[in-house]
Amino acid sequence: MSKKVLIIDIGNTATEFAVFENGNLQDFLGFFKLSSELENAKKALKSYKNKGFDIDDGMIFSVVPKNEEIVKTLVKEIFDKDISVFNWKDYTLKNKSAKIIEPIGADLLADIRQAEKEYRGPCLVVDFGTITKLLQLNEKGSFIGLSMIPGIETTLESYGNSTALLPSMNELKPLNGRLGINTVESIYHGAYWSTVYYVKEVLKSLNNKECKLIITGGNLRFIQNEFPEAIVDSLLTLKGMHLLYEEIVKWNTKIIYKNKKTT
C-alpha cells in the first residue's frame, strides 16, 4: 500500500521539506529560513495540500531544538498529523555501524547511513553545509571516521561578527583562481580555497585510488565545479533521513508484534 511520508530537515541555515512515497522522493517542497520565511514555508505546504495531496506520516530531523515545536505545529495545522522528532534512543538498538557513537547530529547520521546503503566503499562523503563535514567509509562500506571545519558561509559570516570594520558576507563570489586585490576579495579567496584544498588533501591522504568522492550540501552551488570527478548527490541527507525513518518504523513494528505474541 502506498504511503506518503513527510521528511523535515531542520538545519542551522534552513529547513527542508520533502515527501517520500514507496521509498522514493516524490516531491521536494522547498527550503526556508524559519526566522524570516515561516509564512513561505506555510504557503508551500498548503499549496501541496490544496493540490489534493496528503501525508500518512512524517518525521522531523533537527539540529535546532528551538524550531522543533514551530514545525510540529505547522504540520499539525496543515495536515492534521502529529509527527515525531528523531531521537537517538529510537535508533541505538539497530545501529549497524559500531563506529557511530552518540552524539552525532541527525543530518550527519543520515549522510552516513545513506552512504553505507547506496555507495558502499571505499568512499569519502563531503557535506558542504553550515559545517563542512567529511566522512569516510572503508572497503567494506562501513563508516570509520569523520572530520569537520566551518562551512564556507559560516566562515564568511564570522568575519563580520568578529571584527569591527569588516562587513558580514554570506554570498561567495569566486575569483577565477586569482588572489584578492582588496580585503573582501582576499577573504572570499581564503574561505573558498581553504575548503577546496582541505577536501583534496584529506582525499589524497587516504592513499586509495579506488576511493569515490561523494559531495552534497547546501553550499554545492559555490564549489562543486572544483570536483569534476565527484558524484554529486544533493538529496543524500534527505534520502538518509527517510532511511532512518524506515528503520525506526520497522524496529518499532517488530517490538509491537513481539509484545503481542507474548501477551
The CATH class given to the 4-88 domain equals: alpha beta
Cell, residue 89:
534512543
Work out the angle at residue 20's Cα, subtended by the Cα atoms of residues 17 and 21, and round it to the nearest 5 degrees.
Answer: 155
Residue 39 burial (CB < 10 Å; 0-12/13-18/19+)? exposed
The answer to whether 232 touches 224, Cβ cutoff 8 Å, is yes
As a whole number of angstroms, the distance between CA 136 and CA 123 comes to 6
Amino acid at 176: N
- Residue 122, preceding peptide bond in cis (omega within 30° of 0): yes
pTM over 0.85, yes/no = yes
As a whole number of angstroms, the distance between CA 86 and CA 58 comes to 10
Q: Does 119-232 carry CATH code 3.30.420.40? A: yes
The answer to whether 239 touches 149, Cβ cutoff 8 Å, is no
Whole-Å CA distances, 132 to 39, 109, 224, 236, 244: 29, 14, 13, 15, 22
pLDDT for the residue 252: 66
The string of DSSP codes covering 54-96 is --SEEEEEES-GGGHHHHHHHHHHHH----EEP-GGGTGGG--
pLDDT for the residue 72: 96
As a whole number of angstroms, the distance between CA 120 and CA 143 comes to 9
- Residue 65, preceding peptide bond in cis (omega within 30° of 0): no
- Beta strand residue intervals within the chain, DSSP E: 4-10, 15-21, 24-32, 57-62, 84-85, 123-128, 131-137, 143-150, 212-216, 231-232
As a whole number of angstroms, the distance between CA 122 and CA 104 comes to 21
Residues in Cβ contact with 199 at an 8 Å cutoff, skipping those fewer than 6 apart = 126, 132, 134, 213, 227
As a whole number of angstroms, the distance between CA 217 and CA 242 comes to 16
Each residue's pLDDT expressed in tens, for the chain with a length of 263 residues: 678 999 999 988 889 999 999 889 999 999 898 888 999 999 999 999 999 999 999 999 999 999 999 999 999 999 999 999 998 777 765 666 667 776 778 899 999 999 999 998 899 999 998 899 999 999 988 899 899 999 988 888 888 777 776 766 666 666 676 788 888 888 888 888 899 999 999 999 998 888 999 999 988 888 899 999 999 999 999 999 999 999 888 876 544 334 444 44
pLDDT for the residue 76: 95
Please count the other Cβ atoms lying within 10 Å of the Cβ belonging to residue 69: 11
In angstroms, the first-to-last Cα distance of the chain is 28
Cell 548527490 -> residue: 233
Residues spanned by CATH 3.30.420.40 within the chain?
A: 4-88, 119-232
